[in-house]
Structure 1
Amino acid sequence: MEPLPAATDQPWSRLDKRMLLVHPVTEVVKFIPVLIGSVILGTSSGNHVWSVIPLALIVGFALTRWFTTTYRVGPTHVELRTGLIQRKKLSVPRSRIRSVDIEADVLHRLLGLAVLAIGTGQQADSGEQFKLDALDARLVPELRAALLAHTSGTPQSVAGQTVSEVDPTGTGTADSPEQPPSREIAHWNPSWVRYAPLSLTGFAIVAPIVGLAFQYGVGQVLFRSNAVQWVENGGAVLIAVGAIALVLVIVLVVSLAACARYLTTYFGLRVLDDGRTLHLRHGLFTTRQITLDLARFRGATVNEPLLLRLAGAAELEAIMTGENPRQKILPQAPRTAIEHTLSHLLAPNEFQDKVDALLDKADPHVAGPTPGSAPLRTHGPVARRRRHTRTLVPIAVAALVMLAFSLAGADFSPWWWAVPVLLVPIAIALAEDRYRGLGHTVLPETTTSPTWLITRSGSLDRDRDCLEAPGVIGWTVRQTFFQRRAGVATLIAATAAGKKRYVVLDIALDQAWSLIEATTPGLLGTAQAAERG
């Protein structure tokens, strides 16, 4: 019986040969502006060779990637060598692999290929990413399972070679426990597309296009057109009608852009949980599969922008260590779907108890509130007063500036005074909504779940953060001059996951110390404990 060969003795593998059909196309698309410039140069100079040379260089460079890219999966490391002029070698310890993402656009899918990207939980530049583009799609699931085998200690083999030290024979035939069955905890519904226009993604798509068009003179052509001149000459009524029509057109275009992005990105979304990992798969033209290690899961965030909240919808994001700080689990979706998935993620045992209770026609609330549905504690009248002060003071300052200019003899239209008057009720409504958005609570540890810190804040963009107490590594109690006079403080929980800082705004100082002790017992220092007493 031969021992497992060392990583340095294992052969290097190449990417699939079909990538020779993919990379020339992708590189040509990437350098379209250069090719357009070369065509213009060749046409103006009369030498059409200038139009062909850049195309030949781009295609030739793309073809060399197959000859210069090799990889190998060893028992301890995964290695990748790339580069023609400047050779580069990436080596990733298998124990550091935290996620394996699979992506395939239309061309990859037509050729039966896929792109496999390895994540180690650290931010990397584009040149430092461990990405295999492209592999045979039939081999990718087995390779992904092998690369993530260390999360469960299950030996795996790839192409007949064992890639886990659990099986020292190198045969890949060691007995392994059966993989736990995956349970679907969320799936996409086509009717959810109606929530897409309620986010700002449409503006994010349309704004750069409009800005580029205006930069190249489209705005001047538009404003000099006969239609615009006719509206300007038609008086105030036509100008108002034209403005309303323009707003409606913008809303329609933005909504269509948001719906198109929503459909192409999240079409067919499924979220599966096998007890060790979360598997996300979605995409219409470009399919993407994301695997998240539940050992690095520290909680979840329910994002509720104002328009989504009014429509009874929200978004769900995972709080992970070493991952995307805002790893989306569910896009814009009904609140019932968000709550269902959130309950499973944060309290799977209590969630299953409730399901069993419903099936047994027993009390569905026997397991108590889950972190996603727990009622929150309000922050009191001081926090409400501070919300109103922060929104009304800028309006008052603006009114005083206008008054000063008026007394100094400045001449401006009296209609300008209507601006602060109209802003006052809007500011009051915003302040009240911001106060209603404030809240926090601590759910104590049970036999099946850890202690949970839950905090909520925001109005136009409201977040409800549910963070595991074991993930909190430190606290900051911060007081500004005005907060000290009001007897409140801002409490910040530091963690290595997600946004890194989770804030409890304008909480009474005595409650801040109690909240720290309830969340992380014993973490308070002697000085803070003495001050609290």
Structure 2
Amino acid sequence: MREPADAGQPWRRLSVRVVHLDVIRVVISLATGYAGTVVRDDPVWPLIAGAGFGLVGALLDLNRWRTTRYRITAERVEMRSGWLARKHKTVARDRIRSVDSSARLLQRLLGLRSVHIGSGESGSSFALDALDHQHATRLERELMPGRATEPTADAAPSPEPDPETVIARLRAGWVPWNIVTVWSVFAVAGPLIGLHFALRPFGVDLIDLGGRLLNWESRAVVWNVILVLLIAYPLGIAATAGAFLLENWKFQLVRKGTPPDTALVTRRGLLNTRTVQHADERLRGIAFEEPLVWRWLRLTGTKVISTGLRQSGESTTSGILPRIRLAEARELAARILPDGSRPLESPLHRHPRGALVRRLGWAVYYPLILSGALLLFGLSDAIPDRVWPLPLTLVLLTVPVAVVAYRSLGHGLAGDYLVVRGGVPKRRTVALQRRAVIGWTLEQSIFQRWGGRMSAGVATAAGDRYYTAPDASVEQALALISEATPELARGFIDDQQPAHLLGDGVVEIEVEVEDAVAGAGVSRLDGSKTID
């Protein structure tokens, strides 16, 4: 087999400080196991089991350091690892979608970082765990999409830091919006349950101790539950606040580099730190996500839409900001987008009343079906007769939810961006660059055809790969396609070719597209929702 032209590049190994880290883990595991044998007459098996797992993990990590090699050439990044089962992973440099780094507490103390190199596919992505801090920083800069493709020698001096423009820093006003939730009680319940089982081998029963402290037997169950919630919620909020600050300490969102090689960089963390990069050349839009309760408080989460990475793929995340006020998020979104556009502030077209009627029908239909099923059981005396009307009371909830679902619908165009909105438990407003649209799927159920409505699906190589404007009128859907992507629309709207209505109510639009969307790997879209 002919060796590649750059085969002469040397293979490197992970930092030798990994050995120091594993020696510390071995010492801790041995101390824990020893404590599990001497603190009581009989062995404390949870401590011994934990020590065993820690010891095995440290030995496996030492073997990983001994067998892992990697190299960086002008064309690719390669990693070899394994002893009994050998692995050789290769990713071309022009297919690298992310280069992110993180460091746990012990790694930080030893000056180590883990670097994750993502290609958009888990099979060819890999992590270098761990490199010394300076080498990891140099590697991040060298491999960031858009950088020069000359490999950096191991002994090369650190390059000058790229210029940075700060977009956002952690603000004290963000903390309350991210710690007060209805689930705060579980932030303290989980650790307490774990502590309870950890202390049981030592004869400490936290449940019994808490019951005696609260005088559990003197009150009814309802009042005991209320008392526990009154105590647990403040503790849960405090625990959530601590976790949020640990994760987002010194949070900073910056734009790094000089045009055209710029990227959004997020840094955060106190004990465990993390750095995530999103190259501007791969950004295709931005999205707001507003769960129902957040919506009433005018709060939103912000995500970027980037090619080659799904919204929650690999080790990276598309979440670019913590939960903040909607007005502030709009201001920051204009600075996050490289062109400074404000597509998420544009007015959207309201969908036809038929979409409201359809959702009201669902709101009544499902309680009726459930009630009818219970009525059949009641007629056979399987359940009491008074049970079957109970599902009808759900209409008091489902009808308002149906109205909220209808009011969430919307679509429109804002300059170079296509905007779609929808969702009830989590309303999502997506602004996608029109140049990122690579195809459309139009769907009609039998009831939508009677009402003159259809759902327009947008296929793209970025983000979730597929976004929908549901239950628009036929005129609205065709106008959206014509204005957003006139070249794609010309063939089937002007000439009525090659669109055709399938038996299941799907309009299939076949178009030929070039791979001009930054590594999408798509040569043809045949109307399906799955894009390779």
TM-score bucket (shorter structure)? 0.7 to 0.9
Q: How does 1:236-385 map to 2 (within 5 A)?
A: 238-248=220-230, 251-252=233-234, 254-274=236-256, 275=259, 276-326=262-312, 327-346=318-337, 348-349=339-340, 370-385=342-357
Distance 2:38 2:438 in 1: 59
In structure 2, relative to structure 1, the CA distance for the partners of 1:55 and 1:157 (3 Å cut) is closer
User: 2:107 is matched by which residue type in structure 1?
Assistant: H
In structure 2, relative to structure 1, the CA distance for the partners of 1:500 and 1:313 (3 Å cut) is same
* Match of residue 353 from structure 1: none
Q: How does 1:7-26 map to 2 (within 5 A)?
A: 7-24=6-23
Q: CA RMSD in A?
A: 4.3
Residue by residue over 1:366-411, the C-alpha shift from the partner in whole angstroms, topping out at 9 and shown as x without a partner, is xxxx202111111021111122222222223334445555566666
* Match of residue 101 from structure 2: 102
CA contact (8 A) 1:493 1:501 kept: yes
* Match of residue 412 from structure 1: 384
Distance 2:52 2:399 in 1: 65
In structure 2, relative to structure 1, the CA distance for the partners of 1:475 and 1:51 (3 Å cut) is closer
* Match of residue 167 from structure 1: none
CA contact (8 A) 2:32 2:51 kept: no
Q: How does 1:134-173 map to 2 (within 5 A)?
A: 134-148=130-144, 151-153=146-148, 157-159=152-154
Question: 1:194 aligned to 2:194?
Answer: no
CA contact (8 A) 1:198 1:307 kept: no
CA contact (8 A) 1:39 1:50 kept: no
In structure 2, relative to structure 1, the CA distance for the partners of 1:253 and 1:402 (3 Å cut) is farther
Cα deviation for residue 285 of structure 1 reads 1.1
CA contact (8 A) 1:94 1:147 kept: yes
In structure 2, relative to structure 1, the CA distance for the partners of 1:486 and 1:210 (3 Å cut) is farther
CA contact (8 A) 1:430 1:459 kept: yes
CA contact (8 A) 2:253 2:266 kept: yes
In structure 2, relative to structure 1, the CA distance for the partners of 1:27 and 1:308 (3 Å cut) is farther
* Match of residue 474 from structure 1: 439
Cα deviation for residue 159 of structure 1 reads 3.8
Residue by residue over 1:10-56, the C-alpha shift from the partner in whole angstroms, topping out at 9 and shown as x without a partner, is 3322222211122355689999999999999x96799xx99998876
* Match of residue 386 from structure 1: 358
- SS of 1:304's equivalent in the other structure is strand
Cα deviation for residue 152 of structure 1 reads 4.3
> Alignment partner for residue 442 of structure 1, among 413, 416, 433?
413
Cα deviation for residue 229 of structure 1 reads 13
Unaligned runs of 5+ residues in structure 2 are 313-317, 500-532
- The normalised TM-score by structure 2 is 0.76
User: 1:454 is matched by which residue type in structure 2?
Assistant: V
In structure 2, relative to structure 1, the CA distance for the partners of 1:160 and 1:112 (3 Å cut) is closer
- SS of 1:271's equivalent in the other structure is strand
Percentage of identical aligned residues: 28
CA contact (8 A) 1:100 1:290 kept: yes
Distance 1:325 1:92 in 2: 21
Greater share of helix: 1
* Match of residue 511 from structure 2: none
Would you say how many aligned residue pairs link Structure 1 and Structure 2? 479
Distance 1:50 1:222 in 2: 24
Distance 1:485 1:30 in 2: 69
CA contact (8 A) 1:39 1:51 kept: no
Residue by residue over 1:72-116, the C-alpha shift from the partner in whole angstroms, topping out at 9 and shown as x without a partner, is 222222222222333322233222222111111111111111111
In structure 2, relative to structure 1, the CA distance for the partners of 1:200 and 1:265 (3 Å cut) is farther
Distance 1:378 1:400 in 2: 35
CA contact (8 A) 1:199 1:308 kept: no
Residue by residue over 1:326-356, the C-alpha shift from the partner in whole angstroms, topping out at 9 and shown as x without a partner, is 4110121122331122112336345xxxxxx
Cα deviation for residue 314 of structure 1 reads 0.8
Residue by residue over 1:480-509, the C-alpha shift from the partner in whole angstroms, topping out at 9 and shown as x without a partner, is 122222221111101111111101011001
User: 1:63 is matched by which residue type in structure 2?
Assistant: L
* Match of residue 426 from structure 2: 461
CA contact (8 A) 2:266 2:275 kept: yes
In structure 2, relative to structure 1, the CA distance for the partners of 1:489 and 1:39 (3 Å cut) is farther
